[in-house]
Amino acid sequence: MLHILIYFIFFRDQILEMFDHAYNSYMDYAYPADELMPLSCRGRVRGLEPNRGDIDDSLGKFSLTLIDTLDTLVLLNKLDEFEEAVKKTVRDVRFDNDIVVSVFETNIRVLGGLLGAHVMADVLKQRGERMQWYRDELLHMAKELGFRLLPAFNTTSGLPYPRVNLRYGVVNPLSRTGTESDTCTACAGTMILEFAALSRLSGDPIFEENARKAMDVLWEKRQRGSDLVGTVINIHNGDWVRRDSGVGAGIDSYYEYLMKAYILLGDKVYLNRFNTHYSAIMKYISQPPLLLNVHMHNPTVNVRSWMDSLLAFFPGLQVLRGDLKPAIETHEMLYQVTKQHNFLPEAFTTEFRVHWGQHPLRPEFAESTYFLYKATGDPYYLKVGQSIVEKLNTHARVPCGFAAVQDVRTGTHEDRMDSFFLAEMFKYLYLLFSEKSQLPINIDDYIFTTEAHLLPVSLSTTQPPCHTNNTEPQAHEDDLFSYSCPSAQTLFPNNPTFAKTIRDSYKYLTGVGRAQQASSVRGIELPLHDTGLEPVEFLKSMGISLTPLTELVSASQGSAFQDSQKGVYKLKLVAEVSHTPEHEEVVPLIVQLISPPFLGQTVFTAGPAKFGTDLTKQQHGVKGSIMKSVPYTACGPIENAVELQGHIALALRGDCMFAAKARRLQEAGATGVIFIDHREGSSSADTPLFQMVGDGEPTDDITVPLAFLFSKEGATLTAALEEHHNVDVLLLPKEKQLGKEKPEKLNIKFRLAKEGELAEGETESTTIQLVLEQSETDTETNNEAASLMRENQETCSSLQKDPESSP
Ligand code: DMJ
């Protein structure tokens, strides 16, 4: 007994130390920014860092990480820090920001964070020891935020828009959103806990009503044959846009919120719906120990052969449901995967190979581990928790916090520490190693939201301000045994070997020599969406377009095949980046900055495109001054077409295909396009070059020159543009780089400026002058190019001496 106590204390202390390291790093280096960039030791401010696409929709300039962490501070007994952090939140955080955010992420992280913290503040205040100054400020903030999210629900169906502008809503022309037609199931179905809590705590029914309506639509739209839902739904007409159905990315927390809405709100309608879906999941998706995506209309067909890490929450939900056997099986499978790769990769195949190696410090596996330990009391799960702690310290800890892992195979880091790491990971780990009596609150009085914010189950006795529910007939009455959470007592009272017996059959799961059954349909393996969604747009941003089977089959296969696969979507993969086969060489390009003060000295290696002007055939390359496209991704109408005329456009990769961007920019009058990678930290120094290919359609209409820069080079180029306003570049094949391949033909000399030569206003520091000299043997190419540089040089005869710009 004593040694288990010591063991607990040891790990709790270690977890507290790790939390302090992560939280203090955020507060010291990043606050009031939304997130910490743990490798750069600074805050991530949206708009100031390269755009990462949809992931950035979590960032609303509202100190996201601080708010997401508030109730963790209480649970970890850091009550002074909590009081201080609440004061900061009230003093510093504002929501009237002209910024487009994800409705789902803002709800679970910020609204949930404020509500959880309000509840904690209230509890502490009631105890009379601290927070005596507190006057429900966090609840008022939550209500204000709730009203800012509400415009998203203004659709004919009642399903919310995926994004909202915090200041302008969705219909206002200034909102820069409101044109989306679909959303993911989890995005629409993960509002009810926070919105109902807000309604019941504030007395305004409008929030719960809207969230409930969205839940009702999803339920109505379930596939009646299979009782499954799809992954993406049209928010206007409720049609399914993606019909693959699983328990991970895109759907996960919809199921979680049905179960938890019942626990929080005491309304059996939610439980009945959950139980109906759960039976379907167990019939089709659960293929123990695997959880595989199937087609909602044809659920005996698997649609892919990989799983995503988000589904790791599911064993925890099964514990709440009281279904421990499959929970233990799936959790064990996940544990075996973490043993192989240190962390759960974002996606892994049914053979447990890495499919997508990223690991953004997700908490789902720790969450399930905690629930299983509480349900079974089996110390095995403490060992699992111990391994999570150790791996985080060994493989993710950096001097300024904890860094996401870019690829579990190489262990490389990414400059991000998502707010859920503080909101969720530390709660579950700390709880795992804590006795209930050691916690500052009675944990059984609360339910965890999907972001692990704490909402009091006592809300179930607070009727919603306007009572409109309980209209649905009771279904599956005989299936309602599983009210309790968890129900370990009834399932295996005092049988400590129960879990072990189940786990033992999965002991060699990932080991060699054990054939895994291949799934009946080997899905095309696609990367996952980072925020837990998998919208087609994201796949497009990776250069992948999807075509329904019907089109594909009728074009190529004939009707027999079509019939046998009726209703199944098959994916046509059009990768717009090609890692060129060996026999075909990628001809590297360069983007050379030729206007002052660069004068040809700054050169970036760039990737070519298989379409557009063939730069290898351009004797002298193509010159132009650069300008950013608006929108930067060039996936919508070009708003700055007038200014772009005659310029080489800069466009961010992502959201739509390269070819679509190029067409749009060419039409707007751009004379060329430089695409800039949206994957943070990529550079030509460590990423192999590829060439961009078209979108599967003819691309003859695209005639402007195109080049691709990785994000590090892209960031330098855009920084140059911001600083100097006019930046001329030359696009040409690397082999024709001016002054590189034939250095003897272009002499660049520096001479010290003599006293008295300084132009008016220049400081009296040493200056150097750049002189271009041509040898008589210069080729025509260099003649031309050198004259381009000379043209630019004329406007800048002297340079401040700067070791960076010296050769
Ligand atoms: C969290 O923000 C929530 O748990 C959400 O439901 C999905 N996953 C992330 C963490 O992985």
Question: In terms of pLDDT, which residue wins out, 163 or 506?
Answer: 163
Q: CA-CA distance, 671 to 349, in Å (whole number)? A: 44
Parallel/antiparallel/unpaired status of strands 354-356 and 347-349? antiparallel
CA of 418 to the centre of ligand 1 (A): 10
CA 69-74-77 angle, to 5 degrees, is: 125
Residues 118-132 pLDDT 10s? 999 999 999 999 999
From the CB of residue 452, how many other CB atoms can be counted at a distance below 10 Å? Answer: 27
Quote the pLDDT of residue 738.
63
Distance CA 641, CA 731 (A): 21
Query: Is the confidence at residue 302, as pLDDT, over 80?
Result: yes
Rg, C-alpha atoms of the chain:
29
Mean pLDDT within 796-807: 28
804: which 2 tokens? 């960076």
Q: Which is the closest atom of ligand 1 to the Cα of 109?
A: 2
pLDDT in the model for residue 494: 53
Greater confidence (54 vs 697) lies with: 54
User: Cα separations (Å) of 351 from 410, 432, 511?
Assistant: 20, 30, 10
Question: Of 615 and 252, which is predicted with more confidence?
Answer: 252
Catalytic residue check, 479: no
Residue located nearest, by CA, to atom 7 of ligand 1: 532
The string of pLDDT tens digits covering residues 414-453 is 999 999 999 999 999 999 999 999 999 999 999 999 999 9
Report helix, strand and coil shares of the chain as percent, to nearest 5: 40, 15, 40
CA distance 232 to 537: 11
Catalytic residue, chosen from 227, 252, 267, 530, is 252
The lowest-confidence range among 477-491, 588-602, 608-622, 623-637 is 477-491
Measured CA to CA, the distance from residue 228 to residue 246 in angstroms comes to: 9
Contacts of 212 (CB under 8 A, 6+ apart): 192, 196, 468, 469
Judged by DSSP in three states, 788 sits in helix
Mean pLDDT, the chain, as a whole number? 82
Question: Candidates 108, 194, 449: which one to mutate for ligand 1, based on the most atoms within 8 Å of Cβ?
Answer: 108
Tokens 């272009």 correspond to: 746
Residues contacting 614, CB < 8 A, separation 6+: none
Check 57, 244, 346, 378 and give the catalytic one: 346
The answer for residues whose C-beta is within 8 angstroms of residue 649's C-beta and 6 or more apart is 626, 627, 628, 629, 634, 665, 668, 670, 672, 673, 674
Q: CA 597 to CA 124: how far, in whole Å? A: 60
Pairing of strands 648-652, 672-676: parallel
ω before 597 within 30° of 0 (cis)?
Answer: yes
Stretch (H or E) spanning 249: none
Distance 427 CA to ligand 1 centre (A): 14
252 assigned to active site = yes
Pocket test of ligand 1: the residue of 106, 109, 364 to mutate, having most ligand atoms within 8 Å of its CB, is 364
Amino acid letter for position 752: L
Q: Which among 424, 425, 449, 453 is the best mutation to test ligand 1's pocket, defined by most ligand atoms within 8 Å of the CB?
A: 424
Q: At residue 530, does pLDDT exceed 50?
A: no
Q: Known catalytic residue: 204?
A: no
Q: What is the pLDDT of residues 365-389, one digit of tens each?
A: 999 999 999 999 999 999 999 999 9
Expressed in angstroms and rounded, the spacing between residue 246 Cα and the centre of ligand 1 is 16
CA–CA separation, 170 vs 495, rounded Å?
55
Atom of ligand 1 nearest to the CA of 362: 11
pLDDT digits (tens, 9 = 90+) for 144-170: 999 999 999 999 999 999 999 999 999
How far is CA 6 from its chain centroid?
A: 38
Tens digit of each residue's pLDDT (9 = 90 or more) over 722-777: 889 999 999 999 888 765 544 333 333 333 333 333 333 333 333 333 333 333 33
Shortest-distance atom of ligand 1 to CA 532: 7
- What is the token pair recorded at 773? 């000299």
**If we measure between CA atoms, which residue out of 584, 591, 582, 583 comes closest to residue 610?**
584
Higher pLDDT, 493 or 250: 250
Which one is catalytic: 57, 105, 308, 713?
A: 105
Nearest CA to ligand 1 atom 11: 362
Which pLDDT tens digit goes with each residue over 17-42? 999 999 999 999 999 999 999 999 99
pLDDT tens-digit series, residues 538-552 = 444 333 344 433 333
| Site to substitute for ligand 1 among 253, 420, 428, most atoms within 8 A of C-beta | 420
Mean pLDDT of 597-624: 90
- With a Cβ cut-off of 6 Å, ligand 1 is lined by 108, 253, 310, 362-364, 420, 450-451, 532
pLDDT level of residue 476 (50, 70, 90 thresholds): very low
CA distance linking residue 481 with residue 792, whole number of Å? 80
- Tell the residue number behind the tokens 């972001």, with chain if given: 451
SS3 264: helix
Least confident of 126-135, 216-225, 557-566, 592-601: 557-566
CB 30, CB 37: distance < 8 Å: yes
Burial of 807 (0-12, 13-18, 19+ CB in 10 A): exposed
What's the CA dihedral at 102, 105, 108, 111 to 10 degrees?
Answer: -50
User: How far is ligand 1, taken at its centre, from the CA of residue 420, in Å?
Assistant: 7
- 394: amino acid identity, one letter: T
Cα separation, 652 vs 665, in Å, equals: 12
Determine contact, residues 212/159, Cβ cutoff 8 Å: no
Q: Which atom of ligand 1 lies at the shortest distance from residue 186's CA?
A: 6
Q: Given this model, what pLDDT does residue 495 score?
A: 63
* Beta-ladder partners of 101: 164
**Binding residue positions:** 450
Percent of the chain with pLDDT strictly greater than 90: 67
> Which ranges of 288-409 does DSSP label H, i.e. alpha helix?
314-321, 324-341, 364-376, 380-395
Nearest residue to 191 via CA among 572, 451, 457: 451
What is the 769 CA–ligand 1 centroid distance (Å)? 57
Lowest mean pLDDT among 135-144, 404-413, 455-464, 578-587: 578-587
Confidence of residue 510 (pLDDT cuts 50, 70, 90): low
Range 341-348 average pLDDT? 98
Convert the pLDDT of each residue in 392-421 to its tens digit. 999 999 999 999 999 999 999 999 999 999
Residue numbers in the known binding site for Ca(2+) are 450
Crossing angle between the packed helical segments 64-75 and 79-92, to the nearest 10 degrees? 160
Q: Could you confirm whether 804 is annotated as catalytic?
A: no
